[in-house]
Structure 1
Amino acid sequence: MHILLTNDDGYNAPGIQELYRVLKTKTKHDVSIAAPEGQRSATGHSITLFTPLFVTEHSLEGPCKGFSISGTPSDCVKLAIQGKLIPKPDLLISGINQGANLGTDIFYSGTVSAAMEGVLLGVPSIAVSLANFEYKDFGPSATYLADHLDLLLKLQHKGLMNLNFPGKPQTQWRGLKVTRLGKAIYENIFEKRSDPRGRVYFWQSGNLIRDCEDDTDLTAIQDDFISVTPMHSDLTDFASLQAWKDFFSDKL
């Protein structure tokens, strides 16, 4: 199997490099990398249209290659697959991200968006995150994923699998839960300031309000479980679809 790794933390980020090392050590899969040349967190599903994309090639073990790219995470996936930098992969893994991608935060996440781009291009994809910005040991998460990769693939899920690991030692993990997306709502604060030349700017911060329902990814991580959430690219509100058809049928 050919796996493409990508992320939003950058080609040299420890999460993606540790995942590559573990996959090459513990599996027999071919592994390529196409990732941003630097930090691109919270870029969502943005793509680059009005500037060129620059590519630096890196040698990897075996026949596969790595590419650091001057664009966004979604750019990296599109260029790697549609630009034929690599043969079309059988699986895309985005991560391991430094920090959680839970609840409604997935709409801002470059990690999840890169994985969703893989889905849009017909490649089953997994977004993987370590739910802590301070905890730096990616080894247990990478090893867990490598050890259970064949099991996860038996689901034959054609969409996106969003996987978050507790950001603490593996001895404190309590197992795995299949979850739905929770709601992460921010009370944003925009502090108004002025630079030395008098130009006004704003510095964004705020507090996170999380829902506490038992079956969400947010609660699972809070309770030290691995969270796995099945997702797909179709945002249609099917519950409203027929009602809207009936409502508008004789009005327009």
Structure 2
Amino acid sequence: MKILISNDDGYRADGIVALRQALSTIAEVEVVAPEHNNSAKSNALTLHTPLYVHDAGPGVRYVNGTPADCVHIALTGLLGYRPDLVVSGINNGANMGDDTLYSGTVGAAMEGYLFGIPSIAFSQVEKGWAHLDAAAEKAKQLVLQLQAQSLIGTRPWLLNVNLPNRPLDQLGETRLCRLGRRHSAEPVITQLSPRGETMYWIGNAGAAMDDGEGTDFHATRQGHVAVTPLKVDLTDFDQMAHWTQALRGAQA
């Protein structure tokens, strides 16, 4: 099994180091990850600035670009082969609910999925890397389970996995979940620069709003590992009939 690993926290982040160490015991792995932290870059690709790839030791390379850049160039020429699995993470903090739209961790995994490769995004729920060894071991176990079911190296799929920060023996079962929802983000933060100009900082993500049973928020709060299958098609099929009528009326 050949695995491409990326992330959005940067190639030296504790999460990707732990993930690489764990998966190296069961597969051939290569890391192609951002040079610096690229959180909340989603699926962004760099189109108007050249990208450079640097070696950081055997099997590890870093790029002056986004998480999606890293996976994209890896799969379109850098690796020279097609990996069986793309894995992103382990992220320093949760990627649940609306977070998945902004997440660079999910963006990297989604890029693999768009190229037809099974892909997984791994995140720890709380920041700070507490019990990271347990999260990496759980990630390895999940990959092994998927491999045992012949799901790796086959048709593309995309999983978003959130792991509570707990010791391995205190992690609950793996729960299949839907995405929850958050309240709107907190207000923007304004400050004055040393030159007297107003600076704006994006506010923190909103608190969980839809976090009932069956959601990723609920599962992780109970200590379980939340696994959510994701898709790319954003078409609102439930509203197709409504918009058919609305547009027909607009043309009358």
TM-score, normalised to structure 1, is 0.90
Q: How many residues align?
A: 246
Letter in 2 for 1:16: I
- Distance in 2 (alpha carbons) for counterparts of 1:123 and 1:207: 30
Letter in 2 for 1:10: G
Question: Which one of 48, 60, 63 corresponds to residue 69 of structure 1?
Answer: 63
Q: How far apart are 1:118 and its partner, in Å?
A: 0.6
Tell me the equivalent position of 2:120. 126
* Structure 1 vs Structure 2 CA RMSD: 1.9
Would you say 1:34 and 2:54 are equivalent positions?
no
Tell me the equivalent position of 1:105. 99
1:190-205 matched pairs, under 5 angstroms: 190-205=188-203
Conserved? CA contact 1:32–1:86, under 8 Å: no
Tell me the equivalent position of 1:236. 235
More strand, by proportion? 1
1:101-250 matched pairs, under 5 angstroms: 101-153=95-147, 154=149, 156=151, 158-206=156-204, 208-210=206-208, 211-245=210-244, 247-248=246-247
Query: Identity percentage over the alignment?
Result: 37
- CA-to-partner distance for each residue in 1:200-231, whole Å, 9 max, x for gaps? 11233346321231110011111111000011
Conserved? CA contact 2:193–2:199, under 8 Å: yes
> What secondary structure, in the 3-state scheme, does the structure 2 residue paired with 1:126 have?
strand
Which consecutive unaligned segments of at least 5 residues does structure 2 have?
none
Q: How far apart are 1:110 and its partner, in Å?
A: 0.1
- CA-to-partner distance for each residue in 1:55-92, whole Å, 9 max, x for gaps? 102342xxxx3210000000000010113334111110
> What secondary structure, in the 3-state scheme, does the structure 2 residue paired with 1:214 have?
coil
1:144 and 1:247, CA in 2 relative to 1: closer, same or farther beyond 3 A? same
